[in-house]
Amino acid sequence: MAKENKSFSSDFSLKEVPKSQQKSWLSLFSIWVAIGVDLAAVILGVTLAKDLPMTEAIWAVILGSLLLALICTITASVGAATNLSTSLITRYVFGKNGAKIYSVIIGLSLLGWFGVQVGFFADNAKTALASAYQINLPTWLFSVVAGIFMVGTTLYGYRAFSRLSEFSVPLLLALMLLALFIALHTHSIPLVHTNATISFGAAIALVVSSFIVGAATQPDISRWAKSQRDSMIGTFFGMFIGNAFMIIVSILMSKALGSSDMMKMLIMIGMGMPGIIVLTLTQWVTNTSNLYSATLGFNVVFSKMKFKQLTLILGVISTGLGVLGIYNYFVPFLNVLGIFIAPVPGIYVAEFYFVKTEFNRIKNQQDPQPFVWRSILAWVLGTMVTYLTTAAPTGLGLFALTQVPPLDGILVGFIVQLIAGLVFIKKGDQESEVTD
């Protein structure tokens, strides 16, 4: 037991999660609901409330969240089957040298978003305290305090992350349901018909796009599942409920109160302090997830460093970026990194379920190859298609496949990996027959 606790300090960042530490579906469910109930969902909700009639907006959220939950459930199942993080999975899929490229890209992307969220939280917290209680504190102070709590939670890995989610989910759901009840009880939703400024299909695409790049890092959480069944139940219902709940609440409150700012809406109905609690918990859980996956990615590159040491270093750097106002300048660069990440889940899903060659190395306890060129080819082609279908200024926007550019990348990565892998297997079988 002592040996097991010692290894736990690394959060199994460079090995399989052992059976004794694996969790039930409820643990994964709590995490994904908590991540889904965040400020990005609020922003999307008020956008849909403004651009669509209420019924259409709600149906777009339900259908988009179902599609997103299905995609994430499939990618999560790979982590549950292998009990490996996304970055360790890519060591076999792309080769140990090829995976370092992915690990750096995903690490930089998530660290960037950590800094953006810290800055975003600081601005909203400053506004909330000033509006509700006339307390004026410098923005950088909120950034530093937020960074300390978020980094502190991540230092203790999945265990602290899971407990934070289990504590925050009931509270968040209760507070938001109470806020919705008060808003609808004190204000009626106008009967005026809202003219649609975007199509119903585009609205579904927005819902799916809101988290689809996160499908790539599902194994970072699902590797802790006791079974693929636990992973599928926890991920599907957690993603669907978490993603749909906050967006729908935001749509209804925005329609009733005629505002596009959730914090101001909560203050309007006399829930200033609960609003600050909601703001704090939503960003806390989401950013802990960002830093956790970023550390797992960089740990593959800096394999001699302990998980906690690396978490602390990366947390200090990304918090510093938040204090400096990274969210005002860095978002376009982060969107570009998302183009490179998009094809990856399609590639490792195709390899795991259909090609299987590289995952057999895990079963046979073989080391990964230096490079897996067919996987890198699928990655390059998937990235190119994502770039071509992404609207300017991030991409070129020359054509559209599914109306969701990251989903285009996933599908192209999946198809190319499947075809290249099957050709590789057939060629290997023919060479074996000739040798015999």
The CA distance from 189 to 52, in Å, is 14
95 vs 101: CA distance, rounded Å: 10
Q: What percent of the chain has pLDDT over 70?
A: 95
Q: What is the pLDDT of residue 428?
A: 57
The phi and psi torsions of 223 (rounded to 5 degrees) equal: -65, -15
Percentage of residues in the chain having pLDDT higher than 90: 61
pLDDT digits (tens, 9 = 90+) for 333-362: 888 899 999 999 999 999 999 999 999 999
What local confidence, expressed as pLDDT, does residue 393 receive?
Answer: 87
The pLDDT value given to residue 432:
42
The answer to whether the CB of 305 falls within 8 A of the CB of 99 is no
Mean pLDDT of 374-386: 97
What pLDDT band is residue 262 in, cutting at 50, 70 and 90?
confident
pLDDT at 9 over 80: no
- Residues 196-220 as b/e (b if ≥16 CB within 10 A, e otherwise) read eebeeeebbbbbbbbbbbbbbbbbb
pTM of the predicted model as reported, rounded to 2 decimal places: 0.90
Instruction: Reply yes or no on whether the pLDDT at 97 is more than 50.
Output: yes
Q: Is 380 helix (H, G, I), strand (E, B) or coil?
A: helix
Give residue 435's pLDDT. 44
Tens digit of each residue's pLDDT (9 = 90 or more) over 172-207: 899 999 999 999 999 888 876 777 888 898 899 889
Q: Give the pLDDT score at 427.
A: 66
Given a cut of 50, whether residue 111 has pLDDT beyond it is yes
Which of 68, 429, 425, 368 shows the shortest CA–CA distance to 244? 68
**Can you tell me whether residue 18 is helix, strand or coil?**
coil
Positive or negative torsion for Cα 130, 134, 140, 144: negative
pLDDT at 426: 67
pLDDT at 307: 92
| 274 upstream amide cis, omega within 30 of 0 | no
pLDDT digits (tens, 9 = 90+) for 51-74: 899 999 999 999 999 999 999 999
Per-residue tokens: 183: 């808003």
Segment 402-412 shows an average pLDDT of 93
Q: What is the pLDDT of residue 10?
A: 62
Question: 344 and 102 in contact (C-beta within 8 Å)?
Answer: yes
For residue 364, give the amino acid letter: N
